[in-house]
């Protein structure tokens, strides 16, 4: 009965508050355009992704060696990359808020505050371990596979398995 209800709600395309809550749990991307677009509107995100992937490779952010240097404090490179990215991000967000900049479709830009939970500590430490072992975070995994390091596809699949396992046992974990 429960399942049929959920199915119906999913099919009618209207999201209830409860569904939004589930979808937004720990998700980074609950912002959405409230307009309906054809699928090819998504290609613009692919273009941004391509530019992003090129920067990843050319600045050696996906290099296992650069990550090792960062965690051993042997190089400023990665600290410079992350630090300046955050600076530009902070200024951009401030400008968007101050100048009330709209999206290209004229919508108001929304920000969703994150709630603190203990997952940010436990999960953060676990991700830190994985980052240092593999020398990659999720973005670089995709770029590395594209760059021809085919064996990283196994690491990427394993990351998907890790996400799935988290979803499977999430109720039993401290948050």
Partner 1 sequence: MLDILKNPWPWYVAGPLIGLTVPVLLIIGNKAFGISSSLRHICAACIPANIPFFKYEWKKEIWNLFFVGGILLGGFLAMSLLANPNPVEIHPNLASELSTYGITNFESMVPVDVFNWSTLLTLKGFIIMVFGGFLIGFGTRYAGGCTSGHAIMGLSTLQWPSLIATCCFMVGGIIMANWILPVILSL
Site residues (CB under 8 A) for partner 1, limited to 133-162? 133-139, 141-152, 154-162
CA distances (Å), origin 159, targets 146, 152, 174: 16, 10, 21
Closest distance of CB 4 from partner 1, Å: 13
Residues numbered 76 to 95 that lie near partner 1 (CB under 8 A) are 76-90, 92-93, 95
Q: Which of 4, 38, 99, 168 binds partner 1 (CB under 8 A)?
A: 168
Residues with Cβ within 8 Å of 93's Cβ and at least 6 positions away in sequence, in order, are 111
Q: Contact letters (x/-) for partner 1, 96-135, by CB under 8 A?
A: x----x-xxx-x-xxxxxxxxx-xxxxxxxxxxxxxxxxx
CB 117 within 8 A of CB 131: no
For residue 83, what is the DSSP state?
Answer: H
Q: Does 16 bind partner 1 (CB under 8 A)?
A: no
Q: Which of 4, 17, 45, 100 binds partner 1 (CB under 8 A)?
A: 45
> Residue 78: how many CA atoms within 13 Å on its side-chain side?
19
Q: Which of 1, 4, 17, 43 binds partner 1 (CB under 8 A)?
A: 43
CB 30 within 8 A of CB 23: yes
Closest distance of CB 98 from partner 1, Å: 13
Closest distance of CB 93 from partner 1, Å: 5
Tell how far CA 20 is from the center of its chain.
Answer: 18
Instruction: Identify which of residues 4 and 112 has a Cβ nearer to partner 1 in the complex.
Output: 112
Q: Does 48 bind partner 1 (CB under 8 A)?
A: yes
Residues numbered 49 to 78 that lie near partner 1 (CB under 8 A) are 49-72, 74-78
Q: Which residues of 91-127 are buried (b: 16+ CB within 10 A; e: fewer)?
A: eeeeeeeeeeeeeeeeeeeeeeeeeeeeeeeeeeeee
């Amino acid at each position: 009965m429960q399942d049929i209800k959920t199915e119906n709600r999913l099919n009618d395309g209207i999201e209830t508050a409860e569904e939004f809550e589930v979808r937004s749990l720990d998700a980074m991307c609950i912002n959405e355009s409230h307009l309906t677009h054809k699928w090819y509107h998504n290609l613009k995100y692919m273009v941004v992704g391509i530019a992003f992937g090129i920067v990843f490779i050319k600045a050696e952010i996906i290099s296992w060696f650069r990550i090792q240097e960062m965690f051993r404090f042997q190089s400023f490179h990665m600290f410079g990359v992350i630090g300046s990215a955050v600076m530009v991000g902070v200024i951009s967000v401030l400008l968007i808020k101050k100048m009330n900049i709209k999206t290209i479709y004229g919508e108001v830009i929304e920000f969703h505050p994150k709630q603190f939970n203990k997952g940010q500590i436990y999960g953060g430490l676990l991700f830190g371990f994985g980052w240092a072992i593999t020398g990659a975070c999720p973005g670089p995994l995709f770029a590395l596979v594209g760059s021809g390091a085919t064996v990283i596809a196994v690491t990427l699949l394993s990351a998907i398995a890790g996400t799935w396992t988290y979803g499977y046992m999430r109720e039993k974990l401290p948050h």
